Amino acid sequence: MSGRMIDISEHILSKAILKNGITLQSVVCMEECAELAKEISKQIRGSGARTHLLEEMADVTICLKQLQLMYNIPDDDLNLVINQKLARLEGRL
């Protein structure tokens, strides 16, 4: 598995935030997370399509970057917390 980050255009995301506002974009992010949860449930039950899972994963990945922009979360801060959580997970394995 590659450790590279996905390149997501902050320019496009910023335009969406400017057009729709932080509140609406935050709601969209919550909805996308719910759609991913629903698709994961379908996968577990054996009724989901891989393409649908990929689409929902992509939507949520985009939303996570958008949340980072909307709430002024620098990459370094997010990466620090990610690494802390990964270290904790590794300690439990």
Question: Please, which residues have CB within 8 angstroms of residue 26's CB and are 6 or more apart in sequence?
Answer: 67, 70
Q: What pLDDT is attached to residue 7? A: 80
Q: What pLDDT is attached to residue 5? A: 64
Task: Tell me the whole-structure pTM to 2 decimals.
Answer: 0.87
Burial code (b: 16+ CB inside 10 Å, e: under 16) for 72-81 equals: eeeeeeeeee
Q: What pLDDT is attached to residue 10? A: 92
- Tens of pLDDT, residue by residue over 55-89, are 999 999 999 999 999 999 999 999 999 999 999 99
Lookup: tokens for 22? 């932080």
Question: Please, which residues have CB within 8 angstroms of residue 70's CB and are 6 or more apart in sequence?
Answer: 17, 22, 25, 26
- Tens of pLDDT, residue by residue over 6-32, are 788 899 999 999 999 999 999 999 999
Beta strands in 1-93 (DSSP E): none
